[in-house]
Amino acid sequence: MKTVYTCFCTSVIHEGHLNIIREAQKYGKVIVGVLGDEAMIRFNRFPSVSFEERLEMVRKIEGVSEVVVQEDILYDRIIEKYRPDYVIHGDNWKSPPLKAIRDNVEKLLSAYGGKIIDVPYTYSEEVRRIDMREKEKLAMPELRRGRLKKLLSLRPVVKTLEVHSGLTGLIAEKTVVEQDGEYDQFDAMWISSLCDSTAKGKPDIELVDMTSRFRTIDDVMEVTTKPIIFDGDTGGLIEHFVYTVRSLERMGVSAIIIEDKVGLKRNSLFGTEVEQQQDDIPHFCEKIAAGKRIQLTDDFMIIARIESLILERGMQDALDRAFAYVKAGADGIMIHSRKKSPDEILEFCDKFRSVDPKTPIVVVPTSFNTITERELHEHGVNIVIYANQLTRSAFPAMQQTASDILRYHRAKEVDDRLLPIKDIISLIEEL
């Protein structure tokens, strides 16, 4: 008997999947691969149920003879192992970004005479509704909040992009890149104090109040599902910080990062060019501990950010603080630097890791931007935050457009570099 293979990468079985199984049965014995969580989150949505539940769901489908685990997005290992006569898939994989997978399968099958079966993709109202519900579910606070911790165990590096609005949130949510059959997307979002303030035309000095910062979070949350790391600046007074933690946790934010500074906070990238005062260790530890005491779930993370390298207080001070903050309950350490070279960051990571192998390390490679995620991972980094690149790319583009319209007294000259009108009006999906 011939064998037909298909791979499911879904948290819900709908008529489209059943249709594939029905079609597959016409050709032979049906083997379904369930894509592992690690592979799934690289090019699809985060699963809304556990991997075991996804396996069980597929086992229950009538007509499925065997359920296997597919670990990788590309089918090489699966095809080598099962040598199916056919691989069946919805015809949506004929276009990017899935086309690379189809091309790879075609090549693998042709080596021994296997064939691809493309089934028309089921675009029905019901499928659309299920998809929408799935998205809404992932956006719920209870489901979103714990996802950062899950990502820390599933991803070598949690890639985090700055967002400050619904629109930038959509970019972080939807951008997927395919490169030689490898898929990638951002895992999480960073609500930067710098960019949130800049979007409002305000300086980054804790001037934009928490109510307004929460409004930004809400705008982002309304249109996204990915976890959020909030830039909590200094965290303010301990008496206020506990309220901030409570609110963020209730909203479904996954983590707050607070920096060990007091008084008028200025952006770290000013370094010692402006007056900035670092908090003392016992007081900052008290703040961390107060936040940890007030949180209600195990999901929420309080990450302590160390400004010793920024303020040129030396490596030992940074390390002493890191160990003290972890002892006070910090769920992670962010180490910051404004040097062009990543050397001091790497030295910190190596020294910290030699004592503490597991507390997550967060870095923001704005100045030391030549280092890759892989190299950072090799030194024990777990979260990389691209903290301001979206804002910095939009600003010069908008400024150029504004001056060109003034220069030419019309908009024709700028039109070529703009998003086409038909794209901007259909960019945002309606419910």
Nearer to Mg ion, 162 or 187 (CB): 162
In the chain, helix, strand, coil percent, each to 5? Answer: 50, 15, 35
366 binds, among ligand SPV, Mg ion, none (CB under 5 to 8 A by kind): ligand SPV
Indicate the residue among 187 and 204 with the shorter CB distance to Mg ion: 204
State how far the Cα of 157 lies from the Cα of 134, in Å rounded to an integer: 25
For residue 256, the minimal CB distance to Mg ion (Å) is: 12
Per-residue tokens: 393:
């790319």
Closest CB to ligand SPV among 41 and 318? 318
Residue 387 contacts which entry, ligand SPV, Mg ion, none (Cβ below 5-8 A, type-dependent)? ligand SPV
State the nearest-atom distance from the C-beta of 199 to ligand SPV, in Å. 12
CB atoms within 10 A of CB 23: 18
CB 239 to Mg ion: min, Å: 21
Return the number of the residue (6 or 254) whose C-beta is nearest ligand SPV.
254
Give min distance, CB of 385 to ligand SPV, in A: 7
Could you give the maximum distance between any two Cα atoms of the chain, in Å?
77
Based on CB atoms, which residue is closest to ligand SPV, 138 or 383? 383
Q: How many residues does the chain have?
A: 431
User: Among candidates 276, 266, 284, which has minimal Cα distance to 311?
Assistant: 276
Report the phi/psi class of residue 28: left, alpha or beta, with left for phi > 0 and alpha for psi in -120 to 50: left
Element (H, E) at 3: strand 3-8
Which SS3 state, helix, strand or coil, does residue 115 take? strand
Burial of 258 (0-12, 13-18, 19+ CB in 10 A): buried
Which tokens go with 345? 């960051």
Neighbours of 295 (CB within 10 A): 19
Which chain residues interact with ligand SPV by CB under 6 A? 192-194, 204, 231, 267-269, 364, 366, 387-388
**Closest residue to Mg ion, based on beta-carbon distance:** 193
The listed partner (Mg ion, ligand SPV, none) that binds 388, CB under 5 to 8 Å by sort, is: ligand SPV
Query: Taking the complex as a whole, how short is the minimal distance between the CB of residue 280 and Mg ion, in angstroms?
Result: 21
Specify the 3-state DSSP secondary structure of 256. strand
Residue of 326, 293, 301 lying closest to 150 (CA atoms): 301
Cβ neighbours of residue 240 closer than 8 Å, sequence gap 6 or more: none
Residues that bind Mg ion (CB under 5 A): 193-194, 231
Measured distance CA(160)–CA(163) in Å, rounded: 9
Comparing every residue's Cβ against ligand SPV, the nearest one is 192
* Of 294, 141, 145, 304, residue with least CA distance to 232: 304
Closest by CA to 370, choosing from 343, 334, 335, 336, is 343
Q: Which is nearer to Mg ion, 194 or 220 (CB)?
A: 194
Q: How far is the CB of 97 from ligand SPV (least distance, A)?
A: 29
What is the distance in angstroms between the CA of the first residue and the CA of the last residue of the chain?
45
Q: Which lies closer to ligand SPV via its Cβ, residue 333 or residue 387?
A: 387
Rounded Cα distance between 132 and 431, Å, is 8
187 catalytic per annotation: no
Using the minimum distance from each CB to ligand SPV, give the nearer residue, 73 or 387. Answer: 387
Q: How far apart are CA 244 and CA 236, in angstroms?
A: 9
> Could you tell me the smallest distance in angstroms from the CB atom of residue 110 to ligand SPV?
49
Shortest Cβ 167–ligand SPV spacing (Å): 18
Residue 70 has which token pair? 């597919």
Q: Which does 269 bind (CB under 5 to 8 A by kind): ligand SPV, Mg ion, none?
A: ligand SPV
Q: Which of 85, 187, 196, 204 is catalytic?
A: 204
CA neighbor of 380 nearest in space, from 405, 399, 356, 413: 356
Residue type, 391: T
* Residues catalogued as catalytic: 204
